[in-house]
């Protein structure tokens, strides 16, 4: 191995070093963890030559429009304050915890205490600290498939088994509690539900969620319910009744994303709700990986929670309008089947049997300028699907999606697939 170093006189020296001495010793669990999928897929798009118009990037779940200017101004003013430069509480600023607890009590029509809320650096971190509090290397967590890839990556790097709970298009990708029960043994420490779901868009009915709480209680495991996209559901009813059940404080951790709901993903703010004794243990993890969440947006958010209700309703209406526009547009692409759709996502079956989803997605990006994620990024047996995240594109752009899909169906790639099948 050759190492370049800066000498005191400013001349680079070349030092020969035994590679065996300097080789890094890395965590094998981390090495075996998949690379981040979105940057990997994004590498396909630069090859597109623009022959079908501007590229459409439907790979990442990104809010399509910025938040109101007054909210951004509040964040900017908070960032200029001396208070924002200081350490805050491990669990987040008191004003934000209280405002979020109050809002959640209204959403779920159930009491939620200030001391049952923690603020995190995004919802991904909320999941990470929750899993680290519940399971150790060698334990298992039940993960419905298709799964959110960052959940799987987290479990892999921690040496925790991600035990698949297969879902089916026929059932609308809604998990079956009896199937889940058959997969639980002494190694399983938690069950994960994501609703509204990433990647399928499925919204789980309250009775299904209640059945999973019963299952968790019967088996002495914890139910982690990731509600990143909660605020974009098309109806205003309570998402579930978990917080009205007295067992929840011993059995439930709910995850949330300010990043999505307030269109501030770059500010990285999420939250979790858990019983106070569980939260106290999670605090140990939070102290080690963040000490406290970034302060400026925490300072601005309590006011936003109480004053931006109409804006948030408008965003929800627009997101669901884009979902309807996607459904309507896909009538023009009859060979591509929308197996499930909701909030940010459509889970679409491609028309090339036996061809890997990565190959389909790569050709769609390079030849047709439409970037979607292959279903195989979301777990085993997903090669017939692509995930299209349409929240960050306009309805006008959504109308052009069938043209891109049709272009792939007419391409040399499709002809080659037909030849292979024959």
Q: For residue 381, what are its two tokens? A: 């047996």
- For residues 143 and 154, membership in a common domain is answered with yes
In which residue are the tokens 């350490």 written? 87
Length of the chain: 422
Which range of residues forms the domain containing residue 134?
A: 69-307
N- to C-terminal Cα separation, the chain: 52
Q: Would you say residue 27 lies in a domain?
A: no
- DSSP per-residue codes, 171-199: TTTPPPHHHHHHH--TTEEEEEEESS-TT
- The three-class DSSP label of residue 327 is helix
pLDDT, residue 235, reads 86
φ, ψ (nearest 5 deg) of residue 354: 80, -5
- For residues 166 and 208, membership in a common domain is answered with yes
CATH code of residue 377: 3.90.1150.10
- For residues 192 and 212, membership in a common domain is answered with yes
Q: Would you say residue 2 lies in a domain?
A: no
Asked whether the CA dihedral 107, 269, 144, 57 is positive or negative, the reply is: positive
- DSSP per-residue codes, 252-263: EEEEEEHHHHTT
Q: Would you say residue 13 lies in a domain?
A: no
pLDDT, residue 75, reads 97
Residues 357, 375 contacting (CB under 8 angstroms):
yes
Q: Would you say residue 199 lies in a domain?
A: yes
- For residues 225 and 80, membership in a common domain is answered with yes
- For residues 344 and 369, membership in a common domain is answered with yes
Mean pLDDT by 10 residues, the chain (422 residues): 42 45 77 91 95 94 91 97 96 97 96 96 97 97 97 97 97 98 98 98 98 98 98 92 96 97 96 96 95 96 97 96 96 94 96 95 96 97 97 94 91 63 38
DSSP state of 406: H
- For residues 99 and 54, membership in a common domain is answered with no
pLDDT, residue 149, reads 96
Q: Would you say residue 16 lies in a domain?
A: no
Q: Would you say residue 29 lies in a domain?
A: no
Domain boundary residue among 286, 307, 328? 307
- The three-class DSSP label of residue 340 is strand
Q: Would you say residue 8 lies in a domain?
A: no
Among 331, 336, 342, 324, which Cα is nearest to 360's?
336
Q: Would you say residue 20 lies in a domain?
A: no
- For residues 390 and 285, membership in a common domain is answered with no
pLDDT, residue 389, reads 96
Q: What is the CA radius of gyration of the chain?
A: 23
- For residues 324 and 296, membership in a common domain is answered with no
- For residues 123 and 228, membership in a common domain is answered with yes
pLDDT, residue 99, reads 98
- The three-class DSSP label of residue 4 is strand
- For residues 217 and 283, membership in a common domain is answered with yes
Q: How many domains does the chain have?
A: 2
Is the peptide bond prior to 196 cis by the omega test (within 30 degrees of 0)?
yes
CATH code of residue 284: 3.40.640.10
Residues 334, 348 contacting (CB under 8 angstroms):
no
Domain boundary residue among 261, 288, 307? 307
pLDDT, residue 282, reads 97
Domain boundary residue among 307, 331, 346? 307
- Beta carbons within 8 Å of 391's beta carbon, 6+ residues apart: 61, 62, 63, 64, 232, 319, 322, 343, 344
- For residues 326 and 394, membership in a common domain is answered with yes
- For residues 300 and 383, membership in a common domain is answered with no
């Amino acid at each position: 191995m050759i190492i370049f170093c800066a000498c005191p006189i400013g001349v680079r020296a070349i030092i020969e070093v035994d590679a065996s001495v300097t080789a890094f010793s890395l965590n094998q669990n981390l090495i075996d963890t998949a690379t981040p999928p979105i940057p990997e897929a994004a590498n396909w798009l630069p090859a597109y030559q623009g022959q079908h118009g501007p590229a459409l990037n439907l790979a990442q779940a990104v809010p399509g429009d910025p938040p109101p200017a007054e909210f951004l101004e509040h964040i900017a003013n908070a960032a200029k304050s001396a208070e924002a430069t200081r350490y805050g509480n491990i669990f987040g600023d008191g004003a934000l915890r209280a405002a979020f607890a109050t809002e959640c009590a209204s959403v779920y029509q159930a009491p939620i205490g200030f001391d049952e809320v923690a603020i995190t650096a995004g919802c991904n971190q909320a999941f990470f600290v929750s899993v680290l509090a519940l399971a150790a290397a060698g334990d298992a967590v039940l993960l419905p498939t298709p799964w959110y890839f960052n959940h799987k990556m987290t479990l892999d790097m921690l040496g925790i088994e991600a035990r698949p709970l297969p879902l089916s298009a026929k059932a609308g990708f809604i998990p079956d509690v009896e199937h889940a029960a058959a997969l639980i043994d002494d190694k399983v420490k938690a069950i994960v539900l994501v609703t509204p779901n990433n990647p399928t868009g499925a919204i789980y009915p309250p009775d299904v969620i209640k059945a999973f709480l019963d299952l968790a209680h019967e088996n002495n495991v914890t139910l982690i319910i990731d509600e990143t996209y909660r605020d974009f559901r098309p109806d205003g009813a309570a998402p579930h009744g978990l917080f009205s059940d007295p067992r929840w404080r011993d059995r439930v951790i709910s995850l949330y994303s300010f990043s999505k709901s307030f269109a501030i993903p770059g500010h990285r703010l999420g939250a979790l709700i858990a019983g106070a004794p569980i939260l106290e243990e999670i605090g140990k993890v939070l102290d080690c990986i963040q000490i406290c969440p970034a302060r400026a947006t925490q300072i601005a958010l309590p006011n936003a929670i109480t004053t931006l209700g109409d804006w948030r309703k408008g965003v929800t209406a627009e997101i669901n309008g884009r979902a309807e526009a996607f459904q309507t547009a896909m009538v023009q692409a009859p060979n591509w089947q929308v197996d499930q759709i909701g909030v940010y996502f459509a889970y679409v079956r491609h028309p090339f049997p036996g061809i890997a989803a990565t190959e389909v997605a790569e050709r769609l990006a390079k030849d047709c300028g439409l970037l979607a994620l292959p279903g195989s990024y979301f777990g085993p047996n997903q090669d017939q699907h692509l995930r299209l995240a349409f929240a960050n594109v306009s309805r006008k752009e959504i109308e052009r999606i069938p043209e891109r899909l049709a272009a792939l169906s007419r391409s040399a790639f499709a002809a080659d697939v037909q030849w292979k099948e024959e």
